[in-house]
Amino acid sequence: MSLPRSAMNMMGFAVCCLCCDEPDVSGSDRCKTCIRSHSRTRERLSKQAVSKADRLSRELVTMLSDPASHIDDHTHGKLMIHYATLIDKHQGTAPASTAEEMLEVYEKQKSKSEKSLIRDVANQNPWQNVELDAEQREEMLSKLSSNAPVNVDSWDELLAQVEDFLEEDKE
């Protein structure tokens, strides 16, 4: 196994280096040949796909560049798990092995907020993360709607209103 070369890593082919049987010597002829070959492949794939083979090649390169996102693929899933494990071991992140570790990883991922330039910069709404109470919701509804909200005292009355709406739709 060789350590991934930066050029291969940038092209999304780090897993190829991790599966390579050549000695880990940076700048070797084999490394140069692979980098050149994969560069040409990437260049060819950047052009418009004209055949099924082109589309399949793009799909496989996409899978290779991010194997962890494709572990549920019914055809290549097992291989993607193997590749993702190789990359994780290389990066020093071993998969969770106990239920506690899995729960910890889950909670950590759940607490991360996804970054989105559009959401973070364009949406400067001050109400974005504010939870309104019932009174504030009613006030907003009255400002947005011409109809005043009807106060329903029981579930039976609410269900009767819903049935009336459904009957009106049938007519």
pTM: 0.46
Averages of pLDDT over each 10 residues, the chain, 171 residues? 74 81 83 88 85 88 84 85 80 69 76 75 76 86 72 84 84 70
pLDDT at 144: 81
Q: Which amino acid is at 43?
A: E
pLDDT at 97: 67
User: Which tokens go with 9?
Assistant: 């890593």
DSSP conformational letter for 55: H
Residue 43 CA to residue 140 CA, distance in Å, equals 54
Nearest alpha carbon to residue 13 among 86, 95, 92: 86
pLDDT at 94: 64
User: Which tokens go with 76?
Assistant: 């290549």
pLDDT at 149: 59
Q: How many CB atoms lie within 10 A of CB 135?
A: 8
**b (16+ CB within 10 A) / e for 35-69:** beebeeeeeeeeeeeeeeeeeeeeeebebbbebee
pLDDT at 13: 81
